[in-house]
C-alpha cells in the first residue's frame, strides 16, 4: 500500500526566513508521480508541482524549490524568503501508476501547516 508521511504538523517562521517542508513516501511501484499542493485558508487545493519517479532533477520555480531523492524516498519542498501569503497547509501526494488499473488516485500526506508572521 502507498503511504505519504509529512512528519511536521505545524511550522511557524518569521517572514524572509527559509523553510523546508518534508515529505517521505512509501510505494512498491517503480513508476509513480509525486505532487505538492497548497491549501490556503479559503480551502481550495492549489497544484504546485508534479514530479515523476524517473526524474530526480531538483526544480526551482521562483522562491520555491523541490528536492526529490529516490534513494531516501523523499520529496522535500523549500520556500526561500518566506512571505505572509505563503501561510497555508501544504500537502504532499503520491499517485498510483496507470498499469494497475487504479490510476489517478492520489494518496495525500496529512499536511504541514505553515504560519509565516511579520
> Is residue 33 near another protein by the rule CB under 8 A?
yes
Least distance to another protein, CB of residue 76, Å: 19
- Residues 59-118 binding another protein (CB under 8 A) are 91, 95-98, 102-111
β-bridge partners, 5: 24
Question: Could you give the string, one character per residue 3-22, with x where binding to another protein holds by CB under 8 A and - elsewhere?
Answer: --------------------
Q: Give the residue with the Cβ less far from another protein, 38 or 76.
A: 38
Mapped onto helix, strand or coil, the DSSP state of residue 86 is helix
**What is the contact surface with another protein in residues (CB under 8 A)?**
31-33, 35, 37, 42-47, 50, 52, 91, 95-98, 102-111
Amino acid at each position: 500500500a502507498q503511504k505519504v508521511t509529512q512528519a511536521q504538523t505545524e511550522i511557524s517562521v518569521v517572514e524572509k526566513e527559509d523553510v523546508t517542508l518534508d515529505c517521505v513516501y512509501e510505494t512498491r511501484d517503480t513508476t509513480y508521480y509525486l505532487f505538492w499542493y497548497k491549501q490556503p485558508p479559503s480551502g481550495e487545493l492549489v497544484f504546485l508541482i508534479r514530479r515523476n519517479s524517473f526524474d530526480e532533477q531538483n526544480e526551482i520555480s521562483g522562491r520555491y524549490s523541490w528536492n526529490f531523492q529516490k534513494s531516501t524516498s523523499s520529496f522535500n519542498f523549500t520556500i526561500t524568503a518566506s512571505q505572509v501569503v505563503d501561510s497555508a497547509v501544504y500537502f504532499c501526494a503520491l499517485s498510483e501508476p496507470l498499469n494497475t488499473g487504479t490510476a489517478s488516485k492520489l494518496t495525500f500526506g496529512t499536511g504541514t501547516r505553515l504560519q509565516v508572521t511579520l
